Chain A
């Protein structure tokens, strides 16, 4: 679609333009919001047929600021929101999620809704009912998931930044596989109101962008208590944009049990270790710590709690009030047909798992036990932070893998989140920062901090980012 005043618009290279620079251009009136919006739509027009980052785009800029892409689990008033599921096709929210409203207030214009695994359940976006997204570094590979759409869009220059949602790694892992920065904030700092729920005690919305400073800027816009979400709190300190390039005195803990995982590919390990050495060079102290329960039981614990909550959260999709309805002779018939036709295999699998885990006679052994283990994981992390300021691991054990490789094997897919899940269970913030390449594909560094330590994560991530100075534009897209 042509930009207003087409032909006269200044040339912006969306592949390299950071949100911070885009904001400066708009503030200096060097480009209008409408022109910027149009420039991204043009890039989307050029590349999204191949990458399929977007489920839908919005033609007109609805604000005076820069554009943003929102994961399709975030309710947007008047704009269809499907959570990547057939069961919500045609559902147009009558209200904005709090994060969408805060973006609007900040002047951000909605560029479009990005692809996601159905109900954010997955690690590759292959579970989207609307087809997979593709990795901008190599379209035969997955972008990660569930927020693969947002991550791929940011790396391909199809959005300056975006919001994702993270339950067990859905922000951090795709950011790692696409080569950008993603923050899963402390549980309770960002409102979940209007975000299609997967597992309420784990879901958190967070920013995805090209740089750590962009991520901090967007976090500043969305974070803080929301009266509509009882689980939110006010930030204990304002969000600061990082500018210090040193890491003097920073104590980095490396969990032994994490780096011992055989699933970690050699190339990923090499990039990770090189980054730790670099951090030491910047003044950080690197040591080892122990999180045995977190890495032994984190994954099974997660796969009881998350499906249990999901089985309840997904009960509202019954065909009565919105979305798709299957025809049936009786109420039961209608509900069963609606859900059978509306849900894909992964939500069905998790609904069954979760229903079982909550059933009379099994609750104590499964859901109850998982909650007790979760408490131990919280404590284990807390004691690690008595000695360290941040913990570091690779974000994903592997780089991006081929589409179709793991789709038939749920357990192999679940293993993608081995390294991201434990801190999610503990409610802790985690930041993915690109830290190198393996087989010409990006590798991500995961930095975990104590509750409300986002500013600390930004400082650490920023120093690493500056020192590495990686070129994160996918080579095949560079002209």
Chain B
């Protein structure tokens, strides 16, 4: 039987507001433990929350970018449970009346556009950070003692919940790349997984392909990069298929994905069996964004990445469009092409050489870059690389580099090519056996030998001619 995975994602994004969600303590990394705290975020008796207006605007902005309906009246609620990182004994979140609902994001994929539904996006406060010392598990059970750093406690978080509209780990990854880029461009969060400012949990189930049933799902946590997420999802899909095919039943459970071993470890059932006793937070009044505010924020929205992938994709293949847009490179690409460069060549130079050289795309003069792209095969590789390394500097002009001519004289290059082929008999044999990708290897060796002065196009023709002889 073939199986179809059904995946929904739950994403937490830490907003980069200056201050916390319900008090005016600074938000920031690297401060000494428990120095960014006050009676409110430490849950002292009588302390009361006051919402961060910027965070409220930002969740509306994000909701609009995700095509959501913006609630004219959203309500904060208390989610009650005991844990040392939760100073009040409850987290202030949104429950039955979240700020944003019912949106969707179009994910352009190689085989067309997939819509991923956004069930909700809501505001909440982050928990503090527990450090469990001693013990083997890194969890509170079995630890010798636990230290709590309340600096992170109360940081504004947006939780985004997708519909179970995703059907492969690859699609999940693409969705997340696009979502992340959207968030970064809205300038509301850094959204860096390795720093924990973007956290993703995945709900995974499988069903026989073609059916529309929803089988028992499992949650996977503890994944801190897009590729780990893809691997975690794949591991869980494989596990569930095996369970079903061996006649078993998948049971609802939460797993941690261990990146090092690629294995899923179940969390203890006790840690998930909770009744959070939600009720409306009586210390806060409902969030009622005015229609004017919502319209102003809507008008301020930039063109969104998904739309730009579609637009760029009209001139480039999907993969290149995705890389440019999710890398924040598409605007430079557009200007460079407008200045006369070839679309594909400009995309390659920007996505590979420019990024490889660590150049900030925002400070590049597209006119000059277009000239370099145009001349890239004519001028010595070394000159081109140097030019790219300096292209973002103020006052850069391409002219001095364009004046340099690559060595394209076959007579001069032939002995070098012969020497390289003679020195690498094994690779020559492999190439002849069909491994044509080695062409780049030979060209690279010649370029190295000529210190980047050779015309790469001429070299590659020479190599090809000699090897097919």
Contact = CB atoms under 8 A, between A and B. Distances in A.
A89 interface: no
Interface in B68-123: 78, 80, 82, 84, 87-90
A192 interface: yes
Given A200-B283, A230-B283, A316-B89, A358 B43 contact: no
Given A200-B283, A312-B80, A321 B87 contact: yes
Contacts of B282: 199-201, 231, 309
Contact of B45 (A93, A199, A363): A93
Interface in A306-343: 308-309, 311-312, 314-316, 318, 320-322, 330-332, 335
Interface in A217-252: 227-231
A315 B141 contact: no
Report, nearest first, the 6 A-B pairs whose CB atoms are least far apart. Answer: A315-B89, A200-B282, A358-B277, A201-B282, A194-B46, A196-B45
A431 B136 CA distance: 61
A322 B146 CA distance: 16
A88 B285 CA distance: 29
A97 interface: yes
Contact of B48 (A88, A192, A335): A192
Nearest to A367: B279
A95 interface: yes
A140 B152 CA distance: 52
A156 to B, nearest CB: 27
B140 interface: yes
Interface string B31-55: 0000000010011111111110000
Given A309-B282, A316-B88, A91 B45 contact: yes
A159 to B, nearest CB: 21
A331 B51 CA distance: 30
Interface in A30-66: none
A210 to B, nearest CB: 28
B148 interface: yes
A322 B87 CA distance: 11
Contact of B90 (A93, A315, A363): A315
A335 B278 CA distance: 21
Interface of A: 73-75, 81, 83, 88, 91, 93-95, 97, 192-197, 199-201, 227-231, 308-309, 311-312, 314-316, 318, 320-322, 330-332, 335, 355, 358-360, 363, 367
A83 B90 contact: no
B50 A192 contact: no
A308 B42 CA distance: 22
B403 interface: no
**Most chain A CB inside 10 Å of its own CB: which residue of B44, B87, B148:** B44
Given A318-B89, A321-B87, A360 B46 contact: no
Contact of A316 (B51, B87, B284): B87
B80 A320 contact: no
A201 B169 CA distance: 46
Nearest to A226: B48
Given A230-B284, A330-B141, A358-B80, A312 B49 contact: no
A320 B44 contact: no
A312 B82 CA distance: 10
B275 A331 contact: no
A93 B279 contact: no
Interface string B247-289: 0000000000000000000000000000101110011110000
B50 A228 contact: yes
B36 to A, nearest CB: 15
Nearest to B284: A230
Given A95-B39, A230-B51, A320-B87, A196 B46 contact: yes
A228 B82 contact: no
Nearest to B89: A315
A316 B42 CA distance: 9
A95 B44 contact: yes
B48 A315 contact: no
B199 to A, nearest CB: 23
Contacts of A367: 279
A16 B88 CA distance: 44
A367 B49 CA distance: 23
A326 B82 CA distance: 16
B125 to A, nearest CB: 14
Contact of B80 (A81, A88, A193, A315): A315
Given A355-B277, A360-B275, A318 B51 contact: no
